[in-house]
Structure 1
């Protein structure tokens, strides 16, 4: 099912690579150092921005402060993205993130949508093995809606009323500005394999854009299981996503260790180069299948409303 609709795109329009390299790390370092130093902030800043305090030292402190959970220190820098070719399905998810964000979105009241190709067909429909011409019926239904929209406008129905016919497949454009703390939080949810495919694709592009200007800051944009060290998604209790073990497995191993049936061993949980290095090097021995793994598996539908799900629908 061919489509001329614009492809999903996220471009970092501010800051530039030069601004990030020159100022962003010193800004965050100054915030971190101010909290734990007798020095006044402007003196800390002068040493940081002049590189009298080396980047390696600044990154080390910033990483430690972030690991400690002192997140306010990274709220002082923002990133602005130009986002286009996304559906209203995606934008309704995106704007649920409110703290530390600002959005301005293309209006369906003041913009007339006269093109017939400004909607997205999901791959499961466009390229799926569907019976009874369902893919064609989907596209014809959307096209019929857009035809009716045009007829309503010709009949002088206000665009703000004619738009009621639009499906969630309609594409939109927006500007998003977000501070680093919130961007890390959003990426943790939206890069998770349990996130909806379109918004996950968006955040892969966002991560790429941040990496382009700063590999250091980009390295923090990871699925939430990476800093946690385990998966807390109830829909992944069968561990079909194996980035990290599920919390049930971790707790089962811990209970076995506490009960004396396992011995502790030493070894890094994540690579030493990770920005989320653990404070402890203790990790449990592997658990054989069928040993102490939990046997209870609740259905996915029973997990709705769990913590963390409210802004990832």
Structure 2
């Protein structure tokens, strides 16, 4: 798995604070962006994060390039509707020269299970290639490709949605592959907006686990904003 932060709003915390401060300021956003002292930015951010007035977080966004993940992961990822996605197409890209797959650790650690997995994947790949050779369009031959098929995707989320994404997908109960991806995304995002993302992650980072009877019983260590 490769996760790269392609782009983010320049100085995202100042951009967020400017949008929030504009509601009460006699001057324009451009002037606020230029002149607001750093301590005022932090004060405004503190008010936003503590009050839950998160609409201003939507003025900063992040774009990630994600390679080497499975279609099983991206089927989960695109359920986050307040985000933008562009994914490598199985309709237009032919995989007759080779199709990489993602093997779960639970399968890889068992020789017998790994053999079953490999044989099934190879059968699907061979059948796919034969259909393409027979002139079947790739968009139809792809019906044979497994959820394990490796894919690439570009994802853009604003900060509000990104925090929600981390809430759900950094949780120990999230599916292992998307959880690993979410943690890598958070590692890349946090240095760019350390105050906003200081307590990002599973809800147990900030307090009580909301999962009730479904809790994993092993919460992450609490993190406090500086």
Instruction: Tell me the TM-score normalised to structure 1 length.
Output: 0.67
2:95 to 108, 113, 116: 113
**TM superposition shift of 1:117:** 4.9
Q: CA RMSD in A?
A: 2.1
Does the 8 A contact of 2:204 with 2:219 survive in 1? no
- Alignment partner of 1:95 is 2:78: yes
Does the 8 A contact of 1:74 with 1:181 survive in 2? yes
Structure 1: which 5+ runs fail to align? 1-7, 245-269, 278-313
Aligned to 2:15: 27
Please give the secondary structure, in 2, of the residue aligned with 1:202: helix
- In structure 1, how many angstroms separate the alpha carbons of the residues matched to 2:48 and 2:197? 17
Aligned to 2:60: 77
Aligned to 1:187: 166
Please give the secondary structure, in 2, of the residue aligned with 1:177: strand
- In structure 1, how many angstroms separate the alpha carbons of the residues matched to 2:174 and 2:113? 25
* 1:73-114 alpha-carbon deviations (Å, 9 max, x no partner): 110011110111110110010000012x11011100000012
Query: Could you say which structure has the higher helix fraction?
Result: 2
- Which deviates more from structure 2 when the two are superposed, residues 116-125 or residues 206-215? 206-215
- In structure 1, how many angstroms separate the alpha carbons of the residues matched to 2:128 and 2:212? 41
Higher relative contact order, chain-length normalized (CA < 8 Å, sep 6+): 2
Aligned to 1:159: 138
Aligned to 1:64: 47
Aligned to 2:122: 143
- In structure 1, how many angstroms separate the alpha carbons of the residues matched to 2:54 and 2:108? 42
- In structure 1, how many angstroms separate the alpha carbons of the residues matched to 2:35 and 2:162? 27
Please give the secondary structure, in 2, of the residue aligned with 1:241: coil
Aligned to 2:29: 41
Please give the secondary structure, in 2, of the residue aligned with 1:75: helix
Instruction: Tell me the TM-score normalised to structure 2 length.
Output: 0.91
Does the 8 A contact of 2:73 with 2:178 survive in 1? yes
- Alignment partner of 1:207 is 2:195: no
Query: Which one has a bigger Cα radius of gyration?
Result: 1
Does the 8 A contact of 1:112 with 1:159 survive in 2? yes
Aligned to 1:127: 109
Structure 2: which 5+ runs fail to align? none
Does the 8 A contact of 2:205 with 2:219 survive in 1? no
- In structure 1, how many angstroms separate the alpha carbons of the residues matched to 2:197 and 2:33? 23
- In structure 2, how many angstroms separate the alpha carbons of the residues matched to 1:217 and 1:240? 26
